[in-house]
Chains A and B, each alone.
Chain A
Amino acid sequence: MNNSLRGTVRLLGAGLRAMLVLTLVCGVIYPLVVTGIAQTAFHDKANGSEVKAAGRPAGSSLLGQTYTLDKKDKDGNPLPDPKYFQPRPSAAGPNTENTQYSLTVSGASNLAADSKVLLASVEQRRKDVAEFNGVSPAAVPPDALTASASGVDPDISPAYAKLQTERVAKANHLPEDKVADLVADHTEGRIAGFLGDPRVNVLELNIALQKLTKN
Chain B
Amino acid sequence: MSPVLAGVLQLLALFVALALVYRPLGDYMAAVYSSTKHLRVEKWIYRCIGANPTAEMRWPAYLRGVLAFSAVGLLLLYLLQRAQGVLPKGLSLGFHAISPDQAFNTAASFVANTNWQSYSGEQAMGHAVQTLGLAVQNFVSAAVGIAVAIALVRGFARSRTGNLGNFWADLVRGTVRILIPIAVIGALVLVACGAIQNFAGIHEIGQLTGGTQQVNGGAVASQEVIKELGTNGGGYFNANSAHPFENPNGLSNLFEPFLILVIPFALTRTFGKLVGNVRQGYAILATMGLIWLGFTALMMWTEFHHGGPALQAAGGAMEGKEQRFGVGGSSIFAVATTLTSTGAVDSFHSSYTGFGGGITLLGMMLGEIAPGGVGSGLYGMLVMAIIAVFIAGLMVGRTPEYLGKKIGTREIKLAACYILITPTLVLGFTALSMALAGPPDSILNTAANSVRDSGAHGFSEVLYAFTSGANNNGSAFAGLNANTPWYNTTIGLAMLLGRFLPMVFVLALAGSLAEQRPVPETAGTLRTHKPLFAGLLVGVILIITGLTYFPALALGPMAEGLS
Contacts and interface: CB of A to CB of B under 8 A. Distances in A.
A195 B237 CA distance: 24
Given A62-B194, A113-B310, A146-B319, A197 B6 contact: yes
Interface string A78-122: 000100100010001001111011111111111111111111001
B319 A118 contact: yes
Contacts of B215: 48, 60, 63, 103
Interface string B156-170: 000000000000100
Contacts of B51: 14, 18
A47 interface: yes
Interface string A1-31: 0000000100111111111111101111011
B136 A26 contact: yes
A196 B124 contact: no
Contact of B351 (A67, A92, A113): A113
A21 B48 contact: yes
B520 to A, nearest CB: 40
Contacts of B202: 101, 103
A26 B180 contact: yes
Interface string B186-223: 01100111111111101001111100011111010111
Interface stretch (A35-43, A162-170, A176-184): A35-43
A65 B213 contact: yes
Contacts of B208: 53, 58-59, 65, 67, 84, 203, 206-207, 210
Given A42-B191, A148-B321, A31 B222 contact: yes
Contact of A45 (B180, B191, B253, B314): B191
Interface residues of A, number: 106
Contacts of B319: 108-109, 111, 113, 118, 146-147
Interface string B327-359: 111100000000000000111101111100100
Interface residues of B, number: 132
Question: Which of A50, A57, A148 is packed against the most chain B CB atoms within 10 Å?
Answer: A148
Interface in A155-197: 155-157, 190-197
Contacts of A104: 213-214
A114 B562 CA distance: 11
Interface string A114-141: 1111110011001000000000000001
A214 interface: no
A13 B223 CA distance: 27
B391 interface: no
Contacts of B131: 27, 31
A97 B95 CA distance: 9
Contacts of A48: 196, 198, 200, 205, 215, 217, 245
A19 B216 CA distance: 28
Contacts of A151: 239
Contacts of B200: 47-48
Contact of B184 (A30, A117, A122): A30
Contacts of A88: 323
B206 A141 contact: no
B31 to A, nearest CB: 21
Contacts, number: 404
B351 A19 contact: no
Given A22-B136, A22-B175, A152 B244 contact: yes
B485 interface: no
Contact of B206 (A14, A58, A210): A58
B324 A112 contact: no
B420 interface: no
B455 to A, nearest CB: 11
Most buried by A among B51, B131, B197, B249: B197
Contacts of A34: 183-184, 187-188, 191, 197, 219, 221-222
Contact of B323 (A28, A39, A42, A156): A156
A58 B215 CA distance: 13
A154 B244 CA distance: 8
Interface in B215-269: 215-217, 219, 221-223, 226, 237-239, 242-245, 248-251, 253-254
B310 to A, nearest CB: 4
A103 B206 CA distance: 13
Contact of A149 (B214, B219, B250, B347): B347
B326 to A, nearest CB: 3
Contacts of B136: 22-23, 26-27
B71 interface: yes
B414 interface: no
A44 to B, nearest CB: 9
Contacts of B50: 13-14, 17
Nearest to B214: A103
A65 B348 contact: no
A119 B311 CA distance: 8
Given A12-B71, A16-B72, A23-B136, A196 B449 contact: no
Nearest to A48: B196
Interface in B42-86: 45, 48-51, 64-65, 68-69, 71-73, 76
B457 A115 contact: yes
A67 B191 CA distance: 28
Given A22-B140, A25-B45, A58-B208, A41 B188 contact: yes
Nearest to A103: B214
B207 A17 contact: no
A56 interface: yes
**Interface hub of A16, A53, A126, A151 (most chain B Cβ within 10 A):** A16
Contacts of A193: 1
A126 B310 CA distance: 12
B140 A26 contact: yes
A150 B242 contact: yes
13 contacts: A14-B65, A15-B65, A27-B131, A46-B221, A63-B215, A107-B120, A113-B311, A148-B318, A149-B320, A150-B243, A195-B253, A196-B324, A206-B208
Given A25-B45, A115-B451, 17 more contacts: A35-B197, A35-B219, A45-B196, A58-B207, A107-B120, A108-B320, A111-B351, A112-B479, A114-B310, A114-B560, A118-B351, A119-B313, A145-B315, A146-B320, A153-B244, A196-B325, A196-B329
